[in-house]
Amino acid sequence: MGFSFAAHGEEKAAKLPSASSPAKAPSESKPAVAEPEAKSVPPAVSTANPKPAEAEAPPPAAQSSPPAKPIPPRELVLQFLSSYCLECHDSDVQKGDRDFALFGLPLSKEADLIEAKDIIDQLTLKEMPPKKSDQPSDEERIAMVRALREGVVAARGKIQSTGSRTVMRRLSSREYESTLATLFGRRVDTLGLTADFPKEKTSHHIDTIGQTLVTSGFLVDQHFQSANRLVEMRLGKPSMQPQEWHFNGHFVQYEELQGSHKDAFNFGYLNLYEQPNTDTRQGGYGHIEDFLKGVPVSGLYDIEVEAQAMHRDTHYDPEIFGIDFSEPFILGIVPGDVTKGHIHYPQAIEPLLASKTVPDSRTRLGFRVWLEAGQTPRFIFPNGPYESRASVITVNKRYKDEFKAKIPSSLVGRAHILREGKLPHIRISDIKIKGPVQEKGGSVEEVAVFGSEGFKAERAMDQLYAFAEKAYRRPLDDTDRQPIRALYEKRVAEKASPRQAALDALKLILCSPSFLYLSEVTEESEKALKPHDLASRLSYALWTAPPDAELLQVAKSGKLAGEEELKKQVQRMLSDERVSNFVNDFLDSWLNLRDLGSQPPPRETNRAYYAEDLPASMKKEIRLFFTDLLKNNGPVTNFIDADYTFADKKLAAVYDIPEKKTLRLADGFKKVSLKGNSRRGGLLGMAGVLTVSANGVETSPVTRGVWVSENILGYQPPPPPDEVPAIDPDVSGATTIRERLAKHSLDRTCAECHRKIDPLGFSLETFDPVGRWRDTYPKPKKKELPAPKIDSTGEFPSGETYKDFAGFKKIIRDTRADFFTRHLIKQVLSYSTGRHMEIADEAEIEAIQEKVKKEKLGLRSLLVACLTSEIFRSR
């Protein structure tokens, strides 16, 4: 890649070698300026178009002069630090918590390697020394970088890190549920198996790091309860013939809806007025009052609903409701459990089971859904108005002259609107439920656990061993078989039926460390993972699930240990639709998308964010973009800037692109062109990234700058000193954030970090907290003040300047793409191995990056290189 001193000083450096530069060995063939590009050189330095060796020959006049005496690398480093660094980074000052007073060659410990790597990066980007300080010449920079890199190479192998090994880790809650769904053949999110588990800890947003996946006595107990619930609800349920239930009246709804529903139609209809999970929660969940006990056993149930979309043609101002009446209304079904909280309020376990559009005329709609024993279906209106109560109050105020009936003084009454008016809603008049539906060949769970013939008492141990082998992800040995057999025989001796004894043995298997933990076979003394452990690591990395039959067979044969076979399996798995699990989960970790929505904006000023569930669309755009690059092996630099993205109708409106007029909700997401659009393109132009890097209420160049530094460039700024106060927002709007930052950064303690962080965030101020473009900040509370204009210009510590968002992205892509690629490689390796990368891993990370460069930086090439690397294949 290009960078400042290389772009402006190569020719000079090539023709005028510095006397301070180390002498070139006779075998070297590259020019002095290209010296940092050797294999040991970090990827920040470009290797493009090196000049021929002859270009290094000094001018004829200089050939007769005696060659300058080379300065030993150790002395060169000391001279450089003394001249340009120690003024700010000695034992007394230690700016940025860096003390170089005792730093030097040879590098003797891991901390020295880390320090050397940081100095190399800072010099490569010309971010150090600071702009106002004395600057080294390009030749001095190159010589210093070369000396440090040679020192790093010499130290590797001598300095032992913490082991560069993954702590044997348990499955995360996410992996646990995904594994059970795979083993039992059906979704398990309706059971809420991990609802009471301790909240999972992450490390730098990654949830697969072994050191953070601790196990407590409480978690062990929760694992047992989950195993018991799953096995008994799915396999221990009583046999039952299908039943039918029919409801066409007594549709009681609660709280303020109850009186109006009785007055208007004597509970003859079940009405949905708003989307679920709103502030007021009036009409977001439609339950069946006479079916609160729910279904008797877990199973598939057919639900037939007579429903109608009411008053999509309403003459009331559409702005009152905040929905698009050109789109059909949607009816969804989620489970409810009266024992888990209010049936008309949100509950912890309510995955969407099914959904369909509702015609404007009365129509019968059919659904087949899975319900657990005790669950009752609840109906929702996902694209309905955000707040029903506010809509009713507004209608009563603005259209009061249209009603004959007296309007309640509270203005929340709706009986008169239901009788006389045109309040948009979904009306349900009849519901039939039938089930459990008999599955041909036995239940999915029965076949998944016991085989196509179902449980056979005479073959119980063989069936249990076969399931345990799938659950443990490897062949069994006698120590695995013994406790399974012992428990089965013990339960039979206690007069349990053979089937119940087998179910209890299943629970034992699901609570075994061999199931709950990864890496059980490879010995501590061995570095390379054995084939079955490697198969599990690969499968959980790409599919968040146990290995499939083919991968297990390859592991059993031993072929998986070979790089070519491993590469073949990686390619196969990347082409499988199950790789979507990797895309979703890795993006949650790399970009911290799992926190999207954790700091939502104010409801009153961001209605569409809630009413249209924008976070879901925001996440999907990034996932589709990643998937497209993966499928087509597109260059990872497209993450920095691209002339296309993926958008649905909702995002098209947020981005104000032409497709907002043509896309329909039914169209879903489409690939859209951004050519000529300087406001979007790449991750930093995506609403999901812009939202997760803000706090929901306001934006800050510091907050977003830190996000860019950590997630795009891979550099984690040090935390601010304890004595430095936070920047308080100016609620009056009299000053801009840039003005407040300028004052804040007058403190030398603050300025050191802010000069690196702030330029990464200034251009992103043109986006509001949910990613919409803006040219001004919100109008101040002092009405006489104009809305402050946004200054999106900035200057990097290395001297590059930009005028706007487009210019900012160009600098990142042109001068820092290698840093981005290296960080992405590290993130993939950390996520897939379950440990953070260490300084001892740098050599192989550089080798991976060089390999990926040769394959045009393709995302698929990057993943293949990472997942076939020695780092990935090592314990």
pLDDT of residue 21: 39
Listed in sequence order, the residues at least 6 apart from 614 whose beta carbon sits closer than 8 Å to its beta carbon are 608, 650, 651, 654, 687, 770
Residue 824 has pLDDT above 70, yes or no: yes
pLDDT of residue 419: 94
As a whole number of angstroms, the distance between CA 238 and CA 248 comes to 29
pLDDT of residue 111: 74
Q: Give the mean model confidence (pLDDT) for residues 704-710.
A: 94
- % of the chain beyond a pLDDT of 90: 63
CA-wise closest residue to 319 among 386, 382, 273: 386
Residue 40 has pLDDT above 50, yes or no: no
As a whole number of angstroms, the distance between CA 354 and CA 336 comes to 14
Residue 294 has pLDDT above 50, yes or no: yes
Tell me the pLDDT tens digit for each residue of 364-375. 999 999 999 999
pLDDT of residue 733: 53
Listed in sequence order, the residues at least 6 apart from 652 whose beta carbon sits closer than 8 Å to its beta carbon are 659, 660, 663, 672
pLDDT tier for residue 62 given thresholds of 50, 70 and 90: very low
Q: What is the CATH number of domain 243-435?
A: 2.60.120
DSSP states along 56-93: GSPPHHHHTSPPPPPPPHHHHHHHHHHHHTTTTSSTTT
As a whole number of angstroms, the distance between CA 762 and CA 792 comes to 5
The answer to whether the CB of 392 falls within 8 A of the CB of 414 is: yes
pLDDT of residue 33: 35
Residue 18 has pLDDT above 50, yes or no: no
Residue 36 has pLDDT above 50, yes or no: no
Is residue 546 within a helix (H) or strand (E), and if so which, with residue range? none
CA-wise closest residue to 23 among 37, 35, 41: 35
As a whole number of angstroms, the distance between CA 143 and CA 417 comes to 81
Listed range (19-23, 286-290, 674-678, 727-731) with the worst mean pLDDT: 19-23
In Å, how far are 19, 28, 69, 102, 405 from 72, measured between CA atoms? 12, 17, 9, 18, 97
Residue 722 has pLDDT above 70, yes or no: no
Pairing relationship of beta strands 363-371 and 299-310 according to DSSP bridges: antiparallel
Residue 857 has pLDDT above 80, yes or no: yes
Domain ranges of the chain: 1-160, 168-235+448-520, 243-435, 529-575, 584-692, 699-815, 817-867
Listed range (242-256, 422-436, 514-528) with the worst mean pLDDT: 514-528
Tell me the pLDDT tens digit for each residue of 616-636. 999 999 999 999 999 999 999
Tell me the pLDDT tens digit for each residue of 725-774. 566 555 445 466 777 777 666 666 566 677 788 899 999 999 999 999 99
Q: Give the mean model confidence (pLDDT) for residues 344-362.
A: 95
Residue 59 has pLDDT above 70, yes or no: no
Pairwise pLDDT comparison (214 vs 740), residue with the higher score: 214
547: preceding bond cis by omega (within 30 degrees): no
Tokens of 667: 């169209």
As a whole number of angstroms, the distance between CA 16 and CA 3 comes to 20
Tokens of 644: 């296309």
Instruction: Strands of 702-824 (E only): list them.
Output: 794-795, 801-802
Sign of the CA dihedral running 144, 147, 153, 155? negative
Secondary structure letter of residue 667 according to DSSP: G
Q: How much is the mean pLDDT over the chain?
A: 86
pLDDT of residue 66: 56
pLDDT tier for residue 41 given thresholds of 50, 70 and 90: very low
- pTM for the whole structure: 0.82
Pairwise pLDDT comparison (503 vs 154), residue with the higher score: 503
The answer to whether the CB of 743 falls within 8 A of the CB of 735 is: no
Residue position matching structure tokens 């309706």: 190
